[in-house]
Chain A
């Protein structure tokens, strides 16, 4: 350390500390105002009807976002069904083969997938699914979202399983339990809470994705249950209505924003609870 006037150094230390405190609070507070602004704008749009009705045409007050809400739920369920099985298997593979050439290649592939801009995922799934099938569809949107979930889930699965002590595995193997049964019945249950947490976090990430849906799920003014048909989603609705010139639609979009944030928040809280409550102590 540089020798220097001690009192000068102490003053400098104090000033720095207060600077950090003031600056951190004053950069976080305005950001929280964003949240406040959204809530104060959207809360008036929210009522029971908001969840159960379709949007009304411009000019009419009220209406709801049921089409987008149902679309988002179907998209989440479908994309989870597509992404979870291969992602968890991949996570097991990565945790079990730590340092081979192939596994490092695979690890980098997962890294690359995680970095793909979401809009690029959108055009890829357009080329793979929408163009060959000839129409926009919920399924194509779910595939796009699944591609975004896959690296998140497999990385969290890998990290979770790596934390499980090796002696748990050996205990089972030494009882004459075959390797695959050991993984499926001993290791996976021990890592269940971590894997579930990863899955829920991945859902909370894709729930708000818009760009991959622009050219896949596309949007739909009506409720749609058929995954071969286009569907709306909360973020798509926000995007379309925010850009519209109608005040009533803006109000719907603010309301939808609150719902979307609430969903994301809820998922984050659930993931926290699961990882705390179900934590396996080794």
Chain B
């Protein structure tokens, strides 16, 4: 290992090293500042409600009662349904790009489409969802004799799923691109068909990488705000069904933050942010650790 920060008699080196170290210190302080700020602003809510903040199902600013169970459930439901919808689709795209068409026109087109879709800002997906998806869902609800809200948990899960597909597909083809060629060739030389190689070599070898991709996509879905807030119906009650309106933690903050007229209300919203932050940070770090292990395992 080369220690490139080795001392040198020129003072320029000392100051440069100092500047680099201060940028590192800055980022550590920033993250510490984030945690401390969220905690500080949450402290009133934390001390007032304790655990009931999480288990309570009433969110009523008028009576000063704050429980985020409806939003926790809403967040988990939208994200999990979105994952269930997007996982097979992004896996299919992954296999298309990563196995069948690794070069050539189909590859360029499909990758281009994926990158194009990944570039569309979430607010626009929400806008589209509101004007196109909501009426369609409403038609179906009338058809199946369900209360025709149009908006709701399921609708936002679909929008989320659409947004996640390009993201998880791009992780996907990076991951399966790391599967060693020799392994696949060994299987082919034993007479395996392509399908068998994909199933028994590519996918089973990259299992942990794909798991990490799912985790990272999940983290994305949990924190997504704008697309969801436009189509979920923003109901602060416990969701009655996945086809009815609900709300998520991120969307709750977006909707109510500017209205938070008193300290406890604001504090409750900050605690919601704190919880969201912790959950996404844990999921992200976990995902990154798994990916790192996977990548170093392929070398």
In the assembled complex, the CB of B278 is this many whole angstroms from the nearest CB of chain A, namely: 10
Is residue A86 contacting chain B, with contact meaning CB distance below 8 A? yes
CB pair B23–A89 under 8 Å, yes or no, is yes
Is residue B80 contacting chain A, with contact meaning CB distance below 8 A? no
Instruction: Tell me the complex Cα distance, A154–B23, Å.
Output: 11
Is residue A44 contacting chain B, with contact meaning CB distance below 8 A? no
- With a CB–CB cut-off of 8 A, which chain B residues contact A105? 28
Instruction: Tell me the complex Cα distance, A93–B4, Å.
Output: 10
Is residue A223 contacting chain B, with contact meaning CB distance below 8 A? no
- With a CB–CB cut-off of 8 A, which chain B residues contact A128? 33, 37
In the assembled complex, the CB of A180 is this many whole angstroms from the nearest CB of chain B, namely: 3
Instruction: Tell me the complex Cα distance, A89–B10, Å.
Output: 20
Is residue A245 contacting chain B, with contact meaning CB distance below 8 A? no
Number of A-B contacts (CB under 8 A): 244
CB pair B230–A169 under 8 Å, yes or no, is no
CB pair A89–B20 under 8 Å, yes or no, is yes
CB pair A90–B4 under 8 Å, yes or no, is no
Q: Given A9-B193, A208-B122, A211-B226, verify A115-B4 contact (CB < 8 Å).
A: no
In the assembled complex, the CB of B71 is this many whole angstroms from the nearest CB of chain A, namely: 12
Contact with B along A102-132 (1 / 0, CB 8 A): 1101101111111111111011101110000
What number of A residues sit within 8 Å (CB to CB) of B? 84
Instruction: Tell me the complex Cα distance, A260–B99, Å.
Output: 34
In the assembled complex, the CB of B14 is this many whole angstroms from the nearest CB of chain A, namely: 9
Choose from B119, B223, B285 the contact partner of A112 (Cβ within 8 Å).
Answer: B285
Is residue A217 contacting chain B, with contact meaning CB distance below 8 A? no
Q: Which residue of B lies closest to A85 (CB)?
A: B23
Choose from B12, B124, B270, B284 the contact partner of A115 (Cβ within 8 Å).
Answer: B284
- With a CB–CB cut-off of 8 A, which chain B residues contact A93? 20-21, 23-24
Q: Which residue of B lies closest to A32 (CB)?
A: B113
Is residue B293 contacting chain A, with contact meaning CB distance below 8 A? no
8 A–B contacts, CB within 8 A, in A order: A24-B93, A89-B19, A92-B20, A97-B4, A115-B280, A119-B250, A239-B127, A261-B119
Which residues of B come within 8 Å of A, CB atoms? 1-2, 4-6, 8, 10, 12-13, 15-17, 19-21, 23-24, 26-28, 30-31, 33-34, 37-38, 41, 89, 92-93, 95-96, 99-100, 110, 113-117, 119-128, 130-132, 162, 165, 187, 190-196, 198, 200, 219, 222-226, 230, 250, 253-254, 257-258, 269-270, 273, 276-277, 280-281, 283-285, 288
Given A24-B93, A265-B116, 4 extra CB contacts under 8 A: A120-B273, A154-B27, A180-B10, A268-B119
